[in-house]
Structure 1
Amino acid sequence: MSKDIVKTEVKYIDKPQRNITEIRIFFDDQTWETFVPKK
Structure 2
Amino acid sequence: MYGYIPGLSEKIWDSLGFWVLWGVLLIGSLVYIRFKKRK
Fold match by TM threshold 0.5 = no
Tell me the TM-score normalised to structure 2 length.
0.40
Q: Which has the higher contact order (CA 8 A, sep 6+)?
A: 1
Tell me the TM-score normalised to structure 1 length.
0.40
Greater share of strand = 1
